[in-house]
Structure 1
Amino acid sequence: MRRVIAQGTFDILHPGHVHYLSDAASLGDELHVIIARGENVTHKPKPILDGRQRRDMVAALDVVDEAHLGHVEDIFVPIEEIDPDVIVLGYDQHHDEDGIKAALDARGIDCEVTRATPRELRHDDELLSTGRIIDRIVERRC
């Protein structure tokens, strides 16, 4: 059985998230998704939704076999526990693939690291970013 990990914040699910997870699921037999804890999100504004709610939303997607909240102190702990064959990064995630591979090697975790494909816009008004969704809400509701 080929075990795949995808990971991210998944704050306000949108079609880009669904594409990423579907793409990741296609690379194996079992998809585990690690949802970043709010306190570990440092590269963008903190999530709007609580971690448990984000986990539950991701877990409800048919392509996801298991959704996990990330570890508070060490983002590699769930990866060690899941023992994946491949980690799929979002096509636009800020992660450094070589840095992740080096950290995995240092921990004795032998798995492939790859990127998901981008999802093309299907119409002009489609939003594939949580930040853009929030901007649209503010623009139209505030």
Structure 2
Amino acid sequence: MNHEDTTTHVVAQGTFDLLHPGHVHYLRDAAAMGDRLTVIVARRENVTHKQPPILPNRQRRDVVAALDAVDDARVGHPEDIFAPIEELRPDIIALGYDQHHDEAAIEDELARRGVECSVRRASPRDPEYDGELLSSGRIIDRILEERA
């Protein structure tokens, strides 16, 4: 018997340096968009829009993979950030609320490569209490302020 797969596969991606509650919110939100969540952790050498991550690729992947919302985590492709998407063929790409990505540009590239999936944004997560840090960069800044 041939059963059609009706599982909705979601892919999320990010740097995930110094995991914080904002990351957890993003990945829970992404997981809620479907039935299976795969996370692609950006390679250090591919992070060009901000300071490169402090933690090694594999360590960041392993920490993300340990989260309950995540079914699978992998380190991104060394040269082509769309290669894992072509391989995985997800139904949805979930972007973080404040990630720098341009949805239209992603959709255009996916169409060019023959990958049919939607691109959605996760919801924002406001700090739950005064002083809660929802940014790896802010966490690093606070460590430098208080410990340097």
Tell me the TM-score normalised to structure 1 length: 0.99
Give the Cα separation in 2 of the matches to 1:96 and 1:53: 28
Give the Cα separation in 2 of the matches to 1:98 and 1:19: 24
The answer on 1:139 being equivalent to 2:140 is: no
The answer on 1:111 being equivalent to 2:134 is: no
User: Number of aligned pairs?
Assistant: 142
Give the Cα separation in 1 of the matches to 2:89 and 2:103: 18
The answer on 1:31 being equivalent to 2:37 is: yes
Instruction: Name structure 1 gaps, 5 residues minimum.
Output: none
The answer on 1:58 being equivalent to 2:64 is: yes
Where does residue 102 of structure 2 map in the other structure?
96
* CA root-mean-square deviation: 0.4
Identity between Structure 1 and Structure 2 (%): 66
Task: Tell me how far 1:17 sits from its aligned partner.
Answer: 0.1
Task: Tell me how far 1:131 sits from its aligned partner.
Answer: 0.4
Give the Cα separation in 2 of the matches to 1:56 and 1:120: 26
**What's the secondary structure of 2:146's corresponding residue?**
helix
Task: Tell me how far 1:81 sits from its aligned partner.
Answer: 1.1
